[in-house]
Structure 1
Amino acid sequence: MKEEARVAILEAAEQVIAEQGPSATRMEDIATRVGVSVGTLYNYFEDRQRLLQALLDAQAQQLMAVLDAELERSQGAPYRTRLHGLLRSILEHAQKHFRFLSLLWEERVLRVAASSEELDRHQRLLSALTERIGSLNPEGLAQGVLRPEDASHYPTLLLGMLQSSLHRQLLDRQPTPVDEQIALLLRCFLEGASPRPG
């Protein structure tokens, strides 16, 4: 029961933040959306910042669970197919939460400096994503899809491409269709930007 209430609060918080923006959102607005008293919110979260942090943590955990399930589901498939599945999972998650993430990203960009706690959270997320993308490296190398030179850098490079693509969309407040993004990322990552011979 307590966990269900917490989840309901986090879902309502995302909706309200997506509508009003992080700075304008008040605990009262979230309580009204959930249908509880403000005091009830404070039983779960110390303040608005803690609620936002819990929401970001919950989204990161949800994304990692989806990626782990995709890696499990696609075992035995070719590297390109597995990478396609990971990219699709990340991009679909971003699209599902696009408005919320866009407003949150805009607010973060406007801040002069992020707190060390925010930086730590971001670093943990990047490490978890890099680990999951990197788990496909041995297959890509064995199948001849990836060159062995600099293979240890491939997960970071692909994640950098993915982040840049998402950041541009968030700042433009204009999502790109998932299939279009996947095709572009796979083409650029696996084939490079050089013109094809012939």
Structure 2
Amino acid sequence: MAGLRARQKADKNRRILEAATTLFREVGYDSARIEDIAMRAEVSVGTFYNYFENKGDILVAAVSMEVEEVLEAGKSIVENPPATTLAALQTLINQYYDHSLVYLSKEMWRTAMAISIQQPESPFSRRYTELDSRLCDQVSMLVQKLQLRGAVMPGIDAAAVGQMVFNNLNLMFIEFAKDETMPLDALKEKVARQTRPLANLISSPKI
């Protein structure tokens, strides 16, 4: 019985989250109403508040779902990366970017970024920062894996390089989110161009 209740609870949570993110895309985050989200999810407004305190909670849940899925997909790349440093870095970066608009629109990303900056001590901001840190750590783990394999020179600070790569891909994603007209392929091309010189600098000569 407990298992059934848990599945029902998870199903309602997912329905509310999917209804909210769909409505955010259609009318914008600011214009979306709790009542409309509840109606789309086929739950009462009271039930909505059993799961989320406000729209900000839904937004952080969407960001969390996005990043958790990206991190899970990135594990296989880190465990068995492409042979060259550039190919490995770009494969992981593209994995992040390709999934970035599955649950969130650019407008939703801008809102999430703004909340995290405007309310730095809020639970939302702390969660957002934690997710960024986990992504950064995964990039560093990839560089470390490449170093163990011999693709990256042994004297390189793999953790610092991973942080540099993440900081750049994150900054470029912010620019992408700010520009509604920029296509995803343009973002990926720009970051590939920026990643190439660094990858060449840290790669072992034999690679």
One-letter amino acid of the counterpart of residue 83, structure 2: P
* Cα pair distance change 1:25/1:176, threshold 3 Å: same
3-state secondary structure, aligned to 2:100: helix
Q: Is the CA contact 1:162–1:185 (under 8 Å) kept in the aligned structure 2?
A: no
Task: Extract structure 1 runs of 4+ deviating beyond 6 A.
Answer: none
* Cα pair distance change 1:54/1:96, threshold 3 Å: closer
1:168-192 Cα deviation digits (max 9, x unpaired): 1100112331652563243243247
Structure 2: gaps (5+ residues): 1-7, 202-207
Query: What CA RMSD, in Å, does the superposition of the two structures yield over aligned residues?
Result: 2.8
Q: How does 1:14-29 map to 2 (within 5 A)?
A: 14-29=21-36
3-state secondary structure, aligned to 1:46: coil
One-letter amino acid of the counterpart of residue 176, structure 1: L
Q: Tell me by how many angstroms 1:112 deviates.
A: 7.1
2:141 maps to which of 129, 135, 138 = 135
State the alpha-carbon separation in 2 of the partners of residues 133 and 107 from structure 1: 22
Query: What does residue 94 of structure 2 align with?
Result: 88
* Cα pair distance change 1:79/1:5, threshold 3 Å: farther
Q: Tell me by how many angstroms 1:106 deviates.
A: 4.8
Q: Is the CA contact 1:130–1:155 (under 8 Å) kept in the aligned structure 2?
A: yes
Q: Please report the TM-score for the alignment, with normalisation by the length of structure 2.
A: 0.76
Q: Please report the TM-score for the alignment, with normalisation by the length of structure 1.
A: 0.79
Q: Is the CA contact 1:16–1:25 (under 8 Å) kept in the aligned structure 2?
A: yes
3-state secondary structure, aligned to 1:25: coil
Q: Percent identity?
A: 23
1:35-54 Cα deviation digits (max 9, x unpaired): 33222212322333323332
1:59-86 Cα deviation digits (max 9, x unpaired): 22222222224334xx164243432321
Q: How does 1:117-196 map to 2 (within 5 A)?
A: 117-141=123-147, 142-146=149-153, 148-173=155-180, 174-177=182-185, 180-181=189-190, 183-191=192-200
Q: Is the CA contact 1:130–1:159 (under 8 Å) kept in the aligned structure 2?
A: yes
Q: Tell me by how many angstroms 1:18 deviates.
A: 1.9
Query: How many residues are paired up?
Result: 189
Q: Is the CA contact 1:14–1:55 (under 8 Å) kept in the aligned structure 2?
A: yes
One-letter amino acid of the counterpart of residue 180, structure 1: E
One-letter amino acid of the counterpart of residue 13, structure 1: A
